[in-house]
Amino acid sequence: MYNIDITPNLSIIVAIAQNNAIGKDNDLLWHISDDLKRFKTLTSGRTVIMGRNTWRSLPRRPLPKRRNIVLTHDEGFCDDGAEVAHSVAAVLDMVRGEDEAFIIGGAAVYRQLLPFVQRLYVTWVYSDFDADVYFPIIDLSVFGKVSESELFTDSESGLDFRYVEYERRPTLKSAIFG
Ligand SMILES: NC(=O)c1ccc[n+]([C@@H]2O[C@H](COP(=O)([O-])OP(=O)(O)OC[C@H]3O[C@@H](n4cnc5c(N)ncnc54)[C@H](OP(=O)(O)O)[C@@H]3O)[C@@H](O)[C@H]2O)c1
């Protein structure tokens, strides 16, 4: 088993539709330039962790000014600018000691790493989308909302969206033992 205490530095950053959709045909569902700028600001200078499908979907690889870690089972995988991890345990090892590392998708990687993250940076997009990948339902007994932006409307797409941050609630163990 993994030791959950070793990863207080791990965050998820994700944009989620009202129906929890996050992607289709290995692509994003919308283009909100303000959200992309915010993604760049938050992740620049940090480590970003992604699955191989998300890596493949990037218009520009690697993401500049960031350490790019790519998860794949393929032992032969190698690509310029990608550090490769073959398991969740390997990822947790690779980011140990960093101030903050970001899980940037996609669905398979979010699902597996959600149990280990401390913080969620969610862009909620208030429309339903036809999709083939979804973010898990956020359990509000596990993650508490710590900040919420005003409601914005993207001038190009007309989509309404909001930035919400969640923090893992202290467990009974951490409340007692610190
Ligand atoms: N809305 C958002 O914020 C957002 C953000 C990112 C991505 N997305 C979307 O999400 C979709 C992609 O998600 P996805 O679930 O299809 O793919 P993914 O999570 O990006 O990548 C899945 C791949 O990662 C590798 N992998 C996953 N878990 C692993 C493990 N434990 N050990 C080793 N390798 C592992 C496997 O690669 P191999 O098959 O090579 O073994 C697997 O096929 C796209 O539509 C993308 O646009 C949305």
Domain harbouring 26, CATH code: 3.40.430.10
Mean pLDDT is lowest, of 1-10, 27-36, 41-50, for 1-10
Total domains in the fold of the chain: 1
Query: Per-residue pLDDT for 172 more than 70?
Result: no
Q: Which domain holds residue 169?
A: 4-177
Nearest ligand 1 atom, CA 28: 47
For the entire predicted model, the pTM comes to 0.95
Q: Could you write out the DSSP letters of every residue in the chain?
A: ---GGG-TTEEEEEEEETTSEEEBTTB-S---HHHHHHHHHHHTTSEEEEEHHHHHH-SSSSPTTSEEEEE-S-TT---TTEEEESSHHHHHHHTTT-S-EEE---HHHHHHHGGG-SEEEEEEE-S----SEEPPPP-TTTEEEEEE---EE-TTT--EEEEEEEEEPPPHHHHHH-
The residue to mutate among 20, 38, 40, 71, having the most atoms of ligand 1 within 8 angstroms of its beta carbon, is 71
